[in-house]
Structure 1
Amino acid sequence: MPAEALSQPQNRLQDLPSLEQLLASAHVVSLPMRVKFRGITQREALLLDGPLGWGEFCPFPEYGDAEASRWLASAVEASWQGFPPSLRSVIPVNATVPAVTADRVPEVLARFGRVDAVKVKVAEPGQTLDDDAARVAAVRSALPDAAIRVDANGGWDVDTAVKALTRLSDVGLEYAEQPVPDIDGLAKVRRRLQDAGVPVLVAADESVRKEDDPVRVARAGAADLIVVKVAPLGGVRRALEIVAQAGLPAVVSSALDTSVGIRAGLALAAALPELPYACGLGTVSLLAADVTRDPLVADDGAIRLRDVAADAGLLSEYAASPDRRDWWLDRLRRVHALLANPA
């Protein structure tokens, strides 16, 4: 498939519901976080109650409409088109440790129950490598046998990334996710780690979901594996196409979703031909509230594939303020127009 074809949401226009249908099905919520994550303490989302289930439209507020259009395509797929067939019903997941102080690591891990893998946030603005090392060491101390991966969200430059990952590799790292922001930088970090004999794989996240050509990172030899998130890529089917084109192992992760969004991530993980790594789909545990009475959280290191439905009482309890609801509905109108009338 040409790169330009992959750059647009793979949504058949005849399947796109009308704006009136979407507005009539929309619910906007604001959910409190247990800890600050990505700099936010409230997670806002617009949920769609469609004929085939619930979909979630929750691009972060700073994202532009063009980028957000992929998130809407994903929500429409979930609620109006349905998911592709599943190959597995149990999805292994990792715990996620935000950029908390080392003494809070046991508290965070306790919310996830038994886990075999943990993703640790590093390179947080205002923190140091010593902070990162202490947090990672606290995870290793709490879970001596767990696989540990770190996520820098592109927060380092090449030299800092190599220095940091060399130091952090002492505890044993499964891989480092997006250590630097750009594809050329990822290739340099990967090559320098290999040349120095540092056993840390490089995973690409933002360099997949934020690129016009999400397969470029694979062609550039800039990553050992890719992280795929359903909503930012435009839906489960499009994500499957990207993984197939990239030809690299894939980790399915979330974008700090409610259980409705996690359901889409599980659909992708269930449909992939191979699933070599635990998925980053346990992030509902970072929320202090959800939109369903039976959240999709890990049990014994995994989540069992099942459908979820938003609860009317919770939608009312956590309804966004009128001004935020208006903001999201205006955004929905703009983004729908982009999908309905692609350039």
Structure 2
Amino acid sequence: MTMVELPAVFEGKELPDLGEILENVRVVSLPMRVKFRGVTFRETALIQGPAGWGEFAPFLEYGPAEASAWLAGALEAAWLGYPEPLRDSIALNATVPAVAPEQVEQVLSNYRGEIREVKIKVAEAGQTLEDDVARVAAVAAAAPDARLKIDANQGWNHEQALEALTRLEEFDLLYAEQPVASVEGLARLREALRQRGISTPIAADESVRKAEDPLRVAELGAADVLIVKAAPLGGVRRALAIVEKSGLPAVVSSALESSVGIRTGAALAASLPELPFGCGLGTVSLMKADTVQDSLVAENGYLPLRDVTPDSVLLENLAVSAERLHWWRERIKKAYEQLK
């Protein structure tokens, strides 16, 4: 299959100078309210450029090739700015990590006002389907007016996903996000569900942002919805091109960034022609600290589109050690070489 060519963020333009990038990097460690993706502190690098601030926050296990897309997204925000928005606020979902049922109400209490949609993490390593069902039921009880969706992060095999989505059908899920790992696996699962009469839509996340050809999901009919994240897809403009070429509805989600990175996700969401579902840009509410004084969080289920600027005192107080700063600067250098 021929890969579909997609625009690079700096196509036809000079990359910013590496020395200038490194001079304007601040690295912080943000404490989490609850463990998320196995971390209790989220390290992230903020980069200031002529157009504002960008955030470079690839997860620690990602190598230079994968991290280079995140760097492109950060540099786009800091040097090029964002496309013209089509809306000034974005519907969001709350996010519930893989916590015990008795912790659900506390997690939801960190969100301000009305909660319209909730995304629930499932298929956590070391947990069972019974744990997942109990958590989803606890969310349904705590937020009876909210629509629910789940995110398995590729945690199930085919049989496990089929059993889980059969069990969870009673909750009328908006969609199930990345229940199995591969694009082919998603297509097989989606077909098997339909044969059982289960109409839960399938959403693709990792199959889009980690694939060499992110449009293969649409070509194989493997999903009903795309989950797009600006940073790992290489920036707002490239993510917009992927959604347009796929022809599928899209949901914009965060990669557990501070308000600076959420601003980039909001720019993507604000530029999409249609937003049929709430976006996953509310994860700042899962953090005990942020890089800005007035965090970019939802009110009554909607995120306002506005610029944010990191606070110098917060950057100082949350700064990582000299050793970690050196590690992140070296990481940026390696990702930059991949971009070149």
TM-score tier, shorter chain, comes to over 0.9
Name the structure 1 match of 2:33.
34
Partner of 1:288: 288
Which residue identity is paired with 1:112? Y
User: Does residue 193 of structure 2 align to residue 202 of structure 1?
Assistant: no
Match of 1:74 in 2: 73
Other-structure match for 1:136: 136
The residue aligned with 1:57 is 56
CA contact 1:93–1:281 (8 Å) conserved in 2: yes
SS of equivalent residue, structure 2 residue 54: strand
Question: What letter is aligned with 1:80?
Answer: W
Alpha-carbon distance in 1 for matches of 2:122, 2:338: 35
- Structure 1 CA distance, aligned partners of 2:280 and 2:19? 34
Q: Is the 8 A contact 2:9 2:73 kept in 1?
A: no
Counterpart of 1:314 in structure 2 is 314
Partners of 1:59 and 1:152 lie apart in 2 by 20
Distance 2:258 2:67 in 1: 17
What is the TM-score when the length of structure 1 is the normalising length? 0.97
Is the 8 Å Cα contact of residues 55 and 78 (structure 1) preserved in structure 2?
A: yes
Could you list the per-position Cα deviations for residues 263-304 of structure 1 after superposition, in whole angstroms to 9, with x for gaps in the alignment?
Answer: 000000000011111000000001110000000011010110
Question: Is 1:273 the equivalent of 2:288?
Answer: no
Matched residues in 1 for 2:102 and 2:14: separation? 50
Question: Unaligned regions of 5+ residues in structure 2, if any?
Answer: none
- Which structure 2 residues correspond to residues 299-310 of structure 1 after superposition, within 5 A? 299-310=299-310
Distance 1:133 1:291 in 2: 35
The aligned residue for residue 100 of structure 1 is: 99
Q: Which residue of 1 aligns with 2:151?
A: 151
Partner of 2:221: 221
Instruction: Determine helix, strand or coil for the equivalent of 2:5.
Output: helix
Report the alpha carbon displacement of residue 144 of structure 1 after superposing the two structures with TM.
1.4
Instruction: Report the equivalent of 1:89.
Output: 88
Cα contact 1:13–1:339 (8 A) shared by 2: no
SS at match of 2:13: helix
Q: How far 1:9 sits from its partner (Å)?
A: 4.1
What is the TM-score normalised by the length of structure 2?
0.98
Separation in structure 1 between the aligned mates of residue 137 and residue 148 of structure 2, nearest angstrom: 10
Alignment of 1:151-170 (within 5 A): 151-170=151-170
Counterpart Cα distance in 2 of 1:323 and 1:9: 32
8 Å Cα contact 2:4-2:215 kept in structure 1: no
- Determine the structure 1 residue equivalent to 2:47: 48
Percent identical pairs in the alignment equals 56
Question: CA-atom RMSD, angstroms?
Answer: 1.0
Q: Distance in 2 between matches of 1:10 and 1:261?
A: 17
1:262 match: 262
Letter in 2 for 1:12: E
Structure 1 unaligned residues grouped into runs of 5+: none
Aligned mates of 1:192, 1:20 — CA distance in 2:
53
Contact 1:93–1:279 (Cα < 8 Å) also in 2: yes
Partner amino acid for 1:193?
A: L
Work out the number of aligned pairs and report it.
338
Distance 1:11 1:182 in 2: 30
Residue 115 of structure 1 and its aligned partner are, at CA, apart by 1.1
Contact persistence 1:9–1:69 (CA under 8 A): no
Deviations 1:46-91 (A, max 9, x none): 1001111100001001001011000000000100001000000010
- Paired residues of 2:152 and 2:177 also in contact (CA < 8 A): yes
Instruction: Tell me the SS of whatever aligns to 1:133.
Output: helix
CA distance in 2, matches of 1:241, 1:321: 38
Q: What is the CA–CA distance in structure 2 between the aligned matches of 1:63 and 1:88, rounded to whole Å?
A: 33
Secondary structure of 2:16's counterpart equals: coil
Which stretch shows the higher mean deviation, 193-202 or 73-82? 193-202
Q: Secondary structure at the match of 1:148?
A: strand
CA distance in 2, matches of 1:162, 1:15: 48
Query: What secondary structure is seen at the aligned counterpart in 1 of 2:115?
Result: coil
The aligned residue for residue 118 of structure 2 is 118
Equivalent AA in structure 1 for residue 284 of structure 2: V
Residues in 1 aligned to 2:306 and 2:33: alpha-carbon distance in whole angstroms: 25
Matched to 2:90, the amino acid is I
Instruction: Give the counterpart letter for 2:190 in structure 1.
Output: R
Aligned mates of 1:202, 1:14 — CA distance in 2? 37
For 2:115 and 2:220, locate their aligned partners in 1 and report how far apart those are by CA, in whole Å.
33
User: Runs in 1 of length 4+ with deviation above 3 angstroms?
Assistant: none
CA contact (8 A) 2:9 2:76 kept: no
Deviations 1:169-216 (A, max 9, x none): 112211000000001110111111111111210000000000000000
How far is 1:15 from its partner?
3.4
Structure 2 distance, partners of 1:9, 1:26, is: 23
Letter paired with 1:3: M
Is the contact between residue 9 and residue 233 of structure 1 (CA under 8 Å) also seen in structure 2? Answer: no
Maintained 8 Å contact 1:37/1:98 = yes
Mapped partners of 1:265, 1:44: distance in 2: 18
